[in-house]
Amino acid sequence: MILSPGATVGILGAGQLGRMLAMAALKIGLRAHVYAPEDEAPAYDAAHARTVAPYEDQEALKRFAESCDLVTFEFENVPTATLEFVESLTPVRPSSRALALTQDRLTEKTFLRGLGLETAPFADVPDAGALLRAVRDIGRPSILKTRRFGYDGKGQTMLREGSDLGAVHRALGGGLMILEGFVAFEREVSVIAARSLEGAVAAYDLCENEHERHILARTRVPARVSPGLEPAARAIAQAVLEGL
> Could you report the per-residue pLDDT of 112-136, keeping only the tens digit for each?
999 999 999 999 999 999 999 999 9
pLDDT over 70 percentage in the chain? 100
Q: Is the pLDDT of residue 102 over 80?
A: yes
What pTM value is reported for the model?
0.89
Q: pLDDT exceeding 90 applies to what percent of the chain?
A: 92
Taking the C-alpha atoms of residue 34 and residue 69, their distance in angstroms, rounded to an integer, is 13
pLDDT at res. 211:
92
Average pLDDT estimate for 152-172 = 90
Q: What is the pLDDT of residue 154?
A: 82
Overall residue count recorded for the chain in this entry? 244
Residue-averaged pLDDT of the chain:
95
CA distance 182 to 180: 6
Span 227-238, average pLDDT: 95
Predicted confidence at residue 12, as pLDDT, reads 98
Give the DSSP letter of residue 44. Answer: G
Give pLDDT, residue 218: 97
The pLDDT assigned to 19 comes to 98
Residue 170 has pLDDT above 90, yes or no: yes
Cross-strand bridge partners of residue 125:
177
Tell me what pLDDT residue 2 has.
83
pLDDT of the residue at 118 = 95
Question: What are the φ/ψ torsions at residue 163 (nearest 5 degrees)?
Answer: -65, 140
Mean pLDDT for 57-64 is 98
Q: Quickly state the pLDDT bin for 37 (edges 50, 70, 90).
A: very high
Local confidence band at 27 (pLDDT 50, 70, 90 cut-offs): very high
Q: Say whether pLDDT at 151 is over 80.
A: no
Q: Kindly state the average pLDDT of the residues 207-231.
A: 94
Q: What is the mean pLDDT of residues 192-201?
A: 94
Query: Treating both helix axes as pointing N-terminal to C-terminal, what angle do 80-87 and 58-66 enclose, rounded to 10 degrees?
Result: 50
SS3 state at 240: helix
Sorting pLDDT into bands at 50, 70 and 90, what band is 221? very high
* Mean pLDDT across 30-47: 97
Q: Answer for the pair 123, 134: CB distance below 8 angstroms, yes or no.
A: yes
